[in-house]
Amino acid sequence: MDTSSYGSSRVAVQRAGWLAVLVAGWVLALCGGGWAAEQTGSAAAPVKIAVLGDSLTAGFGLPLEATFPVRLAQALKAKGLAVEVIDAGVSGDTASGGRDRLDWSVPEGTEAVIVELGANDALRGLDPAVTRAALEAILVRLKARNISVLLCGMLAPRNLGPDYGARFDAIYLELAQRFGVALYPFFLEGVAADSVLNQRDGLHPTAAGVEAIVARILPRAEDLVAEALRRRG
């Protein structure tokens, strides 16, 4: 994974805090969803986006209206974009779990997918090769369906050693480059380890944390919508 974007002292502190929480062994709780937030601000059919993730996107501990997919849909609407954002998050899910449920979690007609998986793999110390293979399979199948992708990266806990960290962290950048998909290097950028932006468990964003994530990822999400529209031809 390309860590050059974490050069500032503030990001370094956030990253260190996030990794410290991972070392403590917290486990992401399960909570999924199947709702959709739709915006119909233009005459064209909305771009259907699925957020394939874990509890970080599913909204563990948050009311529906404060979850990432809902807030992202609203942010895109404020930009004048017609979208339908589907919550395809299952808390506690691994990359392999996301792969196994891909066909029913990403329904027919989906034009773009935000992939946010791997945090639980790292927390459990799963072999990075297994995580890589699962994410690779997801990308292969999404590309075969002509679906635009935004891949969100995650960081590994350092208590598993430098070799594990290097192997895990490299997964996202390497896959993004290999498959030619957009990359958001660290999903919790600007939020990790900030007590104001995280719930008491230190892992899951508060409503304010979700707002911060949405604000940072929004330009990439706008690009994702634009790419999906280009694919319509």
Is 91 noted as a catalytic residue in this protein?
A: no
Q: What is the spatial distance between Cα 84 and Cα 41, in angstroms, rounded to a whole number? A: 11
Q: Is the dihedral of CA 212, 215, 220, 221 positive or negative?
A: positive
| Distance (Å) of CA 126 to CA 5, 132, 211 | 25, 11, 30
User: Can you tell me the mean pLDDT for 17-46?
Assistant: 49
Which is catalytic among the residues 4, 9, 201, 223?
Answer: 201
Q: What is the pLDDT of residue 15?
A: 54
pLDDT, tens only, 133-147: 999 999 999 999 999
Lowest mean pLDDT among 6-10, 162-166, 214-218, 219-223: 6-10
Give pLDDT tens digits for 65-108.
999 999 999 999 999 999 999 999 999 999 999 999 999 999 99
Question: How far apart are alpha carbons 131 and 171 in whole angstroms?
Answer: 8
Per-chain mean pLDDT for the chain: 87
125-136: burial string, b at 16+ Cβ within 10 Å, e else: bbebeebbebbb
pTM over 0.85: no
Per annotation, catalytic residue among 4, 54, 55, 121: 55
Q: Which helix (H) or strand (E) holds 134?
A: helix 128-144
204 among known catalytic residues: yes
Residue range 4-232 in CATH 3.40.50.150: no
Q: Active-site residue among 121, 148, 169, 204? A: 204
